[in-house]
Structure 1
């Protein structure tokens, strides 16, 4: 059974939350073997003068410990458990990043709107895929590939202006960080709805866009 940081927990108090190499490697292998998701290693956290800094070395890094190491990261993403073990053996603290636009896209909304929409979706008994919550208070709803191309028109067709909503879709050329990846000292990416056999088949963006856009509109 999939069991990687599967419940929401509070942020860690330590300056650099502990990121066990074994758990990162094991999680990456599970994503490949159990979900058939491609993965690739990202940056990680290091202590500099007692403060958490991204391994990229940039003091003003916008996503410390959770962004690609290489510009050609898309070619590094792999669905091979053997390659995953080799990559994380080289850097056990590397974050786990998942490319979007392959086996899934992700709809990105603020945490408040995401939980509001999620409650409404559950009352509507909609089919849902995995959902993550990030330390910077964003939620990612996993949907079928192609969402990034369709979402702008889907939003406009429902009477919303995409520019007025804090909603976007991540597709080809983008990526999301997967549990148990951590951002700086703010905590870990966590599952709101963890991957299970029941949500192996992902919904289309069109099925979720109305409650998500409505919730984002209320959250403005």
Structure 2
């Protein structure tokens, strides 16, 4: 147990990649479109208000201030064109970066504590990971091949769990993840726990990661 926690803490420390100074949201959004060929869409942004920051949506109790879709047709607005991306963020430089799931990838979402336990286990098993985000709402998102949404219930059932009993969700068509360096109000910015690199351009299938993720979620209950 102590070894597992120590391993997770080591990975947590290593995974907290500092923001690259001078890089704007626009720079990052363009990079995602150009280098990873991901569709991106601008979301809401943060606005100064009486010494604090509020979401551009105007909801004082917004659960994800500055980090959710800004319009109902956000999915149709998503683009993989770097030229269009530049134009969109030049109009609103503070807009959050949202990556639609169900296109280039799906995302397996788990609590932060379970995510770090799973990362430690995956490292020992020498599993190949895709990108992994760590958000200020204390959720981690593991990028996997599209189609995970349809597979996950059966994969978890084969392991002896029911999906309803685990805090393990899949984001597929119609959903999104917020990408670094998007900020969640005053809670901080989304970070890469596992940064996109040429080595992880080819994503794992959900089947390759579900066992350590389900195990970690079960331990984290």
TM over 0.5, yes or no?
A: yes
State the Cα deviation string for residues 151-204 of structure 1 (Å, max 9, x = none): 111111110011111010000000000000000101000001100000000000
How big is the shift at 1:52? 1.4
Aligned partner of residue 82 in structure 1, secondary structure: helix
- Corresponding residue of 1:127: 128
Q: Kindly indicate whether the alpha-carbon contact (under 8 Å) linking 2:17 and 2:193 is maintained by their aligned counterparts in 1.
A: no
The answer on 1:40 being equivalent to 2:48 is no
Q: Kindly indicate whether the alpha-carbon contact (under 8 Å) linking 2:111 and 2:140 is maintained by their aligned counterparts in 1.
A: yes
How far apart, CA to CA, are the structure 2 residues paired with 1:159 and 1:192? 28
Structure 2: which 5+ runs fail to align?
A: 1-13
Question: TM-score by structure 2 length?
Answer: 0.90
How far apart, CA to CA, are the structure 2 residues paired with 1:184 and 1:123? 35
- Corresponding residue of 1:80: 81
- Corresponding residue of 1:185: 186
| 1:25-64 matches, cutoff 5 A | 25-64=26-65
Structure 1: which 5+ runs fail to align?
A: 1-5, 11-18
* Segment drifting more, 208-217 vs 41-50: 41-50
How far apart, CA to CA, are the structure 2 residues paired with 1:182 and 1:171? 22
| 1:149-164 matches, cutoff 5 A | 149-164=150-165
- Corresponding residue of 2:16: 8
- Corresponding residue of 2:117: 116
More helix by share: 2
Aligned partner of residue 24 in structure 2, secondary structure: helix
How far apart, CA to CA, are the structure 2 residues paired with 1:27 and 1:174? 20
How far apart, CA to CA, are the structure 2 residues paired with 1:29 and 1:121? 30
How far apart, CA to CA, are the structure 1 residues paired with 2:59 and 2:153? 34
Runs of 4+ in 1 over 2 A off after TM superposition: none
Give the 3 Å change call, closer, same or farther, for CA 7–113 of structure 1 in structure 2. Answer: closer
How far apart, CA to CA, are the structure 2 residues paired with 1:138 and 1:168? 11
How big is the shift at 1:7? 5.3
Aligned-residue RMSD, C-alpha: 1.6
How far apart, CA to CA, are the structure 2 residues paired with 1:200 and 1:136? 26
How far apart, CA to CA, are the structure 2 residues paired with 1:111 and 1:104? 20
Q: How many residues align?
A: 206
Q: Kindly indicate whether the alpha-carbon contact (under 8 Å) linking 2:17 and 2:192 is maintained by their aligned counterparts in 1.
A: no
How far apart, CA to CA, are the structure 2 residues paired with 1:7 and 1:35? 20
Give the 3 Å change call, closer, same or farther, for CA 95–61 of structure 1 in structure 2. Answer: same
- Corresponding residue of 1:142: 143
The answer on 1:217 being equivalent to 2:193 is no
Question: TM-score by structure 1 length?
Answer: 0.91
